[in-house]
Structure 1
């Protein structure tokens, strides 16, 4: 048995985090690989119009948004693995449908079905079941990195695969990755004892209404919606701009995305470090949104050469990567104690809605107003986002902890008030059903060991 308080992840926790990160990566790879190629190769499909290409790009977001939270709730009832297996099979079926399609409507139907395999919440919940609370942030970070990496790989591999095997080959590869995900869950991810009920990993009905009324959480939900809407709409237009205005044949687009993603990844790191160390994440967020806005205007007014387009895409991805990495961290900082799982569920739903909205509006704008219209639409959305983000408060620099309570601590009516009076504790809530307390804490002011000693000693002191 491993020490429950060990500061190192056990081998089973490492396998769980690594295996589930791979499942996430393969699935997101399948979602993202079509982005750089659908606008160019998709025009060869029967019945294609720019508006329908946009719908095909964003269609998966519609079913993801609708089914994300329900799949998570079902996984609480029947177990995580059955939901994950069914979701991956649905995703594979959608990929096969799109691979066999010779019309744009067949690809749209395939993308809708892909999105119906909405397993994100179930995967995150399984990860929480299989990791101890003090290692959960590390495990979640591994999944976050796998999503970022899969996006980067997709931007490069998508064009190369499509160049070699066509669009149908791309979708067949996606189906294979979904089936590989099933094998990973069955063979690598350790078996769990069953769903654990804890509010940091899943949607809690009691926390839903407070989350939907929380001003700063709603600002962050709008932020991820706008970010993914801008991404999807831009990818209706950018591949076409590279061909029409940059003179770059579609088979060569991969090197543009590879350059942009490598520079963008390393370019964002100093800003993340500055924001966290100096506690200036709001300033970093506002700066990145402003850069996105300027990139879209750059594409409108200066994007008439390959050099200018590549420069704009590099800067765009630096700002995008920075926002994609920092927004989930801001949600976990801002969410009330015991509300992080619910806040992340609403946040993910907003992300997929943004993807759907961006693809659909991007295609419609391109069909009716042209490339410039898409970029101006994206710039307008960034301007609205900036106006909303300015009103956000600086987030509290706190970490979420979940500590188990024994019967004596549960009976201690003054526990929450005493903890809240401790310097560095921002919020605390006892959940009797789980025999646990959720605490939001500034780890620079108070550590976990001190909090545990306060919880253990307080009831004993009360009985003296």
Structure 2
């Protein structure tokens, strides 16, 4: 049995992981760059209102949420590459439509079309096809890192590009990034076969159980609220920097740069503490409480530029901590063989939250201005805090998929025998894949006993 924990990635695996991470990064960069500028520049579009600006910010999430899982399943049928190429072309077409628009409705239509290019599930499935089991977690972590870096870069690049090229120019840059993603895809190594892998794709058989799992639903609610608060806040924060901080919109980039860098550094000790001391529930609940405090701080108003910058530093520290820890918690809580399905529902909740947050933020601003937006975000955070406090401390386990010998596949008691091995907390045998999915505590696992049973 190949060791699922050690060894180096091959050159082909590194190329696949790096290339797909760039595809993800370029696509998400295009999604995120409009966040810090649409509220301040979008009001110059014909027919623009605060409510419609909010709709434009969150519109992509509606189609993304609806198509995320279906397109992942479609890639199992017709292949990964056709879905990915089509998705990137549609995304580029949506950006071009928004770039050519002179009304807010044209921008909304472009954002909706961008969301139709829902390729995340297909990209993750292709990554599973191109990497060995023992390196898949590292490859997926690389993609997660690329998404986080793209968000940070977008907060700075969006205001700078819009300052020099306008809102239309920003969307044209977004379209070019999608086309660049297609060029990167052309360099990908060929996958010999599409693999059936329940840890990276949605399995219909696991969907009902996932939707009934209370701990997973708490985390799904959390990511929905987190991105709803993010999108609603970005309807208000750029305007607050202008109205309360007196900072011209062309200078907003440095605020986001300072806030994101300081926030990133600030979250690291809490992540380390939570994982090392196995107290991630307390860290999660604390971060939600900090997010709530930030929204109440913004709601007070009259804080001036320095107060806004300080509040945004703390806001992004809490946001980055939650954004990084929630997927890890999904991996811990999901049953053996159910991570891919759990992540599919989680991603759908994330995009749905982005859509609801943009729409809600724009409507609340139109209803009562900045204080009402921040008050609405505070109420969402309060609801999440109530849910988070009630969750259980997650199990500190890792999911692995191991291939089975023909003899082991025929062993009808294999799952029961594996559960008796120290360090194994869950086991699911999938005979059709000749594989077993385990949830293990790497610190206490008896690897030799597992090896004997599966081979």
TM-score grouping bracket, smaller chain normalisation: over 0.9
Answer whether contact 2:403 2:454 (CA < 8 A) is retained. no
Answer whether contact 1:95 1:172 (CA < 8 A) is retained. yes
- Equivalent in the alignment of 1:462: none
- Equivalent in the alignment of 2:422: 423
- Equivalent in the alignment of 2:258: 259
- Equivalent in the alignment of 1:17: 17
The whole-number CA distance in structure 2 between the counterparts of 1:56 and 1:302 is 26
TM (normalized to structure 1)? Answer: 0.96
Q: Give the match's secondary structure for 1:444.
A: coil
Answer whether contact 1:63 1:112 (CA < 8 A) is retained. yes
The whole-number CA distance in structure 2 between the counterparts of 1:31 and 1:379 is 25
Q: Give the match's secondary structure for 2:283.
A: helix
- Which ranges of structure 2 fall in alignment gaps of 5 or more residues? none
The whole-number CA distance in structure 2 between the counterparts of 1:235 and 1:125 is 32
Asked if 1:436 corresponds to 2:435, the answer is yes
Pairs within 5 Å for 1:260-299: 260-299=259-298
Cα distance change on mapping 1:73 and 1:255 into 2, 3 Å:
same
Pairs within 5 Å for 1:354-433: 354-433=353-432
Q: CA deviation at 1:438?
A: 0.2
- Equivalent in the alignment of 2:58: 58
The whole-number CA distance in structure 2 between the counterparts of 1:39 and 1:113 is 20
The whole-number CA distance in structure 2 between the counterparts of 1:452 and 1:21 is 33
Cα distance change on mapping 1:447 and 1:276 into 2, 3 Å:
farther
Pairs within 5 Å for 1:27-426: 27-187=27-187, 189-426=188-425
The whole-number CA distance in structure 2 between the counterparts of 1:422 and 1:195 is 32
- Which ranges of structure 1 fall in alignment gaps of 5 or more residues? 457-464
Q: CA deviation at 1:447?
A: 5.6
TM (normalized to structure 2)? Answer: 0.98
Cα distance change on mapping 1:4 and 1:362 into 2, 3 Å:
closer
- Equivalent in the alignment of 2:450: 451
Answer whether contact 1:403 1:452 (CA < 8 A) is retained. no
Cα distance change on mapping 1:167 and 1:243 into 2, 3 Å:
same
The RMSD of aligned alpha carbons is 1.3
The whole-number CA distance in structure 2 between the counterparts of 1:448 and 1:350 is 36
The whole-number CA distance in structure 2 between the counterparts of 1:448 and 1:50 is 58
The whole-number CA distance in structure 2 between the counterparts of 1:443 and 1:3 is 12
Answer whether contact 1:39 1:237 (CA < 8 A) is retained. yes
Answer whether contact 1:97 1:107 (CA < 8 A) is retained. yes
The whole-number CA distance in structure 2 between the counterparts of 1:408 and 1:454 is 10
Answer whether contact 1:303 1:309 (CA < 8 A) is retained. no
Cα distance change on mapping 1:450 and 1:21 into 2, 3 Å:
farther
Cα distance change on mapping 1:114 and 1:447 into 2, 3 Å:
farther
Answer whether contact 2:4 2:135 (CA < 8 A) is retained. no
Cα distance change on mapping 1:148 and 1:74 into 2, 3 Å:
same
Answer whether contact 1:221 1:346 (CA < 8 A) is retained. yes
How many residue pairs get matched? 454
Answer whether contact 2:421 2:449 (CA < 8 A) is retained. no
Q: Give the match's secondary structure for 1:256.
A: helix
The whole-number CA distance in structure 1 between the counterparts of 2:147 and 2:311 is 23
Q: Give the match's secondary structure for 1:253.
A: helix
Deviates more, 1:319-328 or 1:442-451: 442-451
Deviates more, 1:446-455 or 1:234-243: 446-455
Q: CA deviation at 1:424?
A: 1.4
Q: CA deviation at 1:194?
A: 2.8
Cα distance change on mapping 1:21 and 1:447 into 2, 3 Å:
farther
